[in-house]
Amino acid sequence: MGSDYIVSTPPHIRSGETIEKFMAWTFLALTPLVVAGLYAFGFFAFRTLILSILSAVAMEAAVLRYRKMPIVISDGSAIITGLILALTLPPKVPYWIPIVGGALAIFFGKQLFGGLGYNVFNPALVGRAMLVLSWPSIMSGSWFTTLRELDGITTATPLTAAKAIKAGTLIGDISVVYKPLLFLNRGGCMGEVSALLLIIGGLVLIARRVVDWRIPLFYLGTVFVMSILTGNNGVFNILAGALIFGAFFLASDPVTSPVTRRAKMIYGICLGLVTILIRFYTSYSEGVMFAILFMNSFAALIDRYTRPITFGTVKAK
């Protein structure tokens, strides 16, 4: 064989897309949301953001050094993990919560599985889940006062207030919160501050092919349809909480979501069904975090049973 030929393992198709570019586009898509969050929550949001990112980067560097691997922080994956974790935290949590959360996210959610590309679960959600299970009172009691239109409920998210309305313990009209939820919601975490900015950021990621449109579309569509079928407000359940943030920036993570087209549709539908189940039939008012972590564990299985048949072959009976 002449020197003009190179024998190597697949994949053989190369593109100009790199991890750095994917992370950079994710960061840019989230930037307007971060700016709005800093405007809405001020110093608390800034502190949580910085500490979470620094903690994630420090843990990444420490583990890579221990494993005697090149310390590559410039790919931006640890920064994005810390940023996304901060966006899921209540703004007024103590300073040590984002520090612990960032470290847990990288160690247990990413490096314990072998590093970037090998993790089964979304690292930021692993960190948040461990914080919620370890310090539930802090994680559920550090919200800013919810929307003024829902007076009577403090330190609660709009979803919690809506659940109180449905239970009959609070009188209110949730339709009045559409505008704040869409433009500048001061109740909840930074990742819930504006549904409009989240949608714009998500569309940017789809346009740049950082995420596939099927998962967010089928996820949001399932929640909307099932909300109506169960007698709930479909628009409110789309806009409130972390649903849009989760659909575009967490559930569509290419490492922890399925690969095939049919699998992505099934995955999105299942995410919507699990979210509805948790929101309407358990004591939790949110459900996005547990739904995504739960479905992360089925991503490979869904891929296995939705693999397209290789051209020229017959499906085994």
Which pLDDT value is given to residue 156?
54
Residue type, 49: L
Nearest of 147, 71, 139 to residue 100 by alpha carbon = 139
Q: Hey, which bits of the chain come out as E strands?
A: none
Contact partners, residue 257, CB within 8 Å, separation at least 6: 215, 251, 264, 267, 296, 299
Tens-of-pLDDT digits for all 317 residues of the chain? 455 666 776 666 666 778 888 999 999 999 999 999 999 888 889 999 999 999 999 999 999 999 998 888 888 999 999 999 999 998 889 999 999 999 999 999 999 999 888 999 999 999 999 999 999 988 887 666 554 445 444 445 667 666 665 655 554 566 667 888 888 877 778 888 899 999 999 999 999 999 999 999 999 999 999 999 998 889 989 998 889 999 999 999 989 999 999 999 999 999 999 999 999 998 888 889 999 999 999 999 999 998 877 777 766 66
Could you tell me the pTM of the whole model?
Answer: 0.87
- Backbone CA torsion sign across 78, 80, 84, 89: positive
Which pLDDT value is given to residue 182?
86
Buried-state track 228-267, b at ≥16 Cβ within 10 A, e below 16: eeeebbbebbbbbbbbbbbbbbbbbbebbbbebeebbbbb
Which pLDDT value is given to residue 154?
44
Contact yes or no for 93/85 (Cβ under 8 A): no
Which pLDDT value is given to residue 151?
46
Which pLDDT value is given to residue 192?
86
Contact yes or no for 120/105 (Cβ under 8 A): no
Contact yes or no for 153/161 (Cβ under 8 A): yes
Contact yes or no for 259/307 (Cβ under 8 A): no
d(CA 93, CA 102): 14
